[in-house]
Amino acid sequence: MAKSGTLDLARGMGGSVRKEDVKSTVDQYVKYHDLHGGEKELRKSNYADLANKYYDLATGFYEYGWGDSFHFAGGWQGETLRECTKRHQHFIALQLGLRKGMKVLDVGCGIGGPLIEIARFSSTLITGLNNNDYQISRGKELIFSAGLSEQCCFLKGDFMNMPIADNTFEAAYALQATPHAPDAQGVYSEIYRVLKPGKYFALDEWCLTDWFDPSNARHLAIKAEIELGDGLPDIRTTRQCVQAMNDAGFEVIFAKDLAEDFPCPWYRMMDPNKLSLTSFQCTRPGRIMTRAIVNILEFLHIAPAGSVEIYNFLQSASEGLLKGGREGIFTANFFVLGRKPLKETEIVNGSL
């Protein structure tokens, strides 16, 4: 079960970073970003450190505000955040054609919320790849609580250089995790390598849309807010994403911005004016209350110094995502289904 109480939030603050080092880690993290004098190439060359610092600092807040699934999904009228995310996870499983006993790779699995739901839904054996020690430790707790320790596991590793043999998995998915990669083709190529021939990869990606104008200062400022608030080295366009899938070797079955399919947009939870009892932390009163709680916890030394600054850059993320979504220059739900082709000899022999 996801953490929800304020004391749990305080204990989770900083992840595996020593509490006395949280403030300095925040300072190091923000300096990677354009809004604080950083540069894109520096973020790309230090992508692993950037992502690790981000998730050590942000995971506690994510669990407090979003539960165990750190991703967006469009929705229908009346659906809760939990219902939207579960339905989206089922969509991924169905697109991959998952069946009982299949070996599946979750690339950049977070603390395992989607992994647990997809494993239950499909009765598959899922390995979650993650490079963050704190998230892996939290994920193991969640898998144990869910009774899925025999069905699911975690593997520590960099998705740009996976510690996995070629042709290992029968399906793979990346649920809004690969935006942390410094090179799209590089991470997609690694997924291609570990996937068996003829099998499918479901990619749910954060992308800039065709409406993004790189000469527009406002667009660039929104992009920078999202990168700061979400630990990203850069944000690629939808066209670059599809091209990188092709260049990695995948046969692209289809590609679509799923944000176009739903009346309730993926960014609705970022709107502080939206009233919601099930996502109270995201509303304006909820944000005011959370900020006050974090200030008090830090003042009383229950939460480490730097906690308020973490909350502030996460609010930058919310503002950037909301503006980017509303203006149509950014989507959190660009979906691509790719297939690793069979070799000629495998086609002749009827191998799958």
Distance CA 348, CA 214 (A): 48
Q: What is the mean pLDDT of residues 244-269?
A: 94
Q: Which of 177, 158, 309, 310 is nearest to 232 (CA)?
A: 177
Q: Which of 15-19, 141-145, 326-330 has the lowest mean pLDDT?
A: 15-19
Q: Is residue 1 very low, low, confident or very high in pLDDT (cuts 50, 70, 90)?
A: very low
Across the chain, what does the average pLDDT equal?
90
Q: Which of 169-183, 224-238, 240-254, 281-295 has the lowest mean pLDDT?
A: 281-295
Q: Which of 140-149, 173-182, 253-262, 290-299 has the lowest mean pLDDT?
A: 290-299
- Contact between residue 188 and residue 245 where contact means Cβ atoms under 8 Å apart: yes
Q: What is the mean pLDDT of residues 67-72?
A: 91
Distance CA 135, CA 55 (A): 8
List the beta bridge partners of residue 173.
106, 202
Q: Which of 78-92, 131-145, 296-310 has the lowest mean pLDDT?
A: 296-310
pLDDT at 236 over 80: yes
The per-type count for the chain, helices as H runs and strands as E runs, is: 13, 7
pLDDT at 108 over 90: yes
For residue 225 the two structure tokens come to 């807010």
Q: Which amino acid is at 342?
A: L
Q: Which of 11-15, 88-92, 144-148, 333-337 has the lowest mean pLDDT?
A: 11-15
Rg for the chain, CA atoms, rounded: 20
pLDDT at 119 over 90: yes
- Contact between residue 205 and residue 336 where contact means Cβ atoms under 8 Å apart: yes
Q: Is residue 6 very low, low, confident or very high in pLDDT (cuts 50, 70, 90)?
A: low
What is the set of domains in the chain, with CATH numbers?
Answer: 1-352 (3.40.50.150)
Q: Give the 3-state secondary structure of residue 29.
A: helix
* pLDDT (0 to 100) of residue 120: 97
Distance CA 268, CA 298 (A): 30
Distance CA 95, CA 335 (A): 11
pLDDT at 348 over 90: no
Q: Is 57 exposed, middle or buried (0-12, 13-18, 19+ CB in 10 A)?
A: buried
Distance CA 335, CA 346 (A): 28
pLDDT at 352 over 80: no
Q: What is the pTM of this model?
A: 0.92
- Ordered DSSP codes for 219-261: HHHHHHHHHHHHT-S---BHHHHHHHHHHTT-EEEEEEEGGGG
* pLDDT (0 to 100) of residue 3: 45
Which regions of 93-249 does DSSP assign to beta strands (E)?
Answer: 103-107, 125-130, 152-156, 169-175, 195-208
What tens digit of pLDDT does each residue of 276-332 get? 544 556 666 667 788 788 888 888 888 888 888 998 888 888 999 999 999 999 999
Strand order of the β-sheet with 103-107 is: 152-156, 125-130, 103-107, 169-175, 195-208, 330-339, 251-257
Q: Which of 316 and 126 is assigned the larger pLDDT?
A: 126
What tens digit of pLDDT does each residue of 170-211 get? 999 999 999 999 999 999 999 999 999 999 999 999 999 999
